[in-house]
Amino acid sequence: MTEASAEDLQKAGLKATVPRLKILRMLDTCDQSHMSAEELYRRLLEEHEEVALATIYRVLTQFEQAGLVERHHFEGGQSVFELCRDGHHDHLICLKCGKVEEFFDEAIEARQKAVAAQYGFELTQHSMTLYGLCASCRSN
């Protein structure tokens, strides 16, 4: 995938403003792909690219509505945001070091659809998050 750019914003129907580009770039290039608004704010600050926290929240909400970003509610209360890249996936999170792994499992997806159908639901989205200890945290 090429670097996040002004066109990505325009294609999504959003003006290519400086704060939006900073936020998009940070989501795209940061080693940490799942960040809270506060984390994003701090990292931008560190790179001397400060954007007001209120703007970060507004922009993330717009990105979410435009389908550029997904918002997750993991344990811990605050929302975490992730740039939508390839397709759908679920998450595996280490409770000790916070590492986030992404995975996709066809069998699970199929069963989810089957369960929803069984209850008469039209499925529009789902969230599935596994919590545990990652390999390196286990060995310590």
Partner DNA sequence: GTATATGCAAAACTTTTGCATCCTT
Partner DNA sequence: AAGGATGCAAAAGTTTTGCATATAC
- Contact footprint for a copy of itself (CB under 8 A): 73-75, 77, 79, 92, 94-95, 101, 103, 105, 107-108, 111-112, 115-116, 118-135, 138
**How many binding residues for DNA (CB under 7 A)?**
26
Complete DSSP assignment for 61-119:
HHHHHHTSEEEE--TTSS-EEEE--SS--EEEEETTT--EEEE--HHHHHHHHHHHHHT
Q: Report the alpha-carbon distance of residue 46 to residue 70 in Å, rounded.
A: 24
| Minimum distance, C-beta of residue 3 to DNA, in the bound complex (Å) | 17
Q: Report the alpha-carbon distance of residue 23 to residue 49 in Å, rounded.
A: 9
CB 94 within 8 A of CB 137: yes
Contact code string over 71-90 relative to DNA, x by CB under 7 A: ------xxx-----------
Comparing CB distances to DNA, the nearer of 58 and 99 is 58
CB 93 within 8 A of CB 99: yes
| Minimum distance, C-beta of residue 12 to a copy of itself, in the bound complex (Å) | 22
Comparing CB distances to a copy of itself, the nearer of 50 and 132 is 132
Contact residues for DNA, defined by CB under 7 A = 6, 10, 14-20, 36-38, 50-55, 57-59, 61-62, 77-79
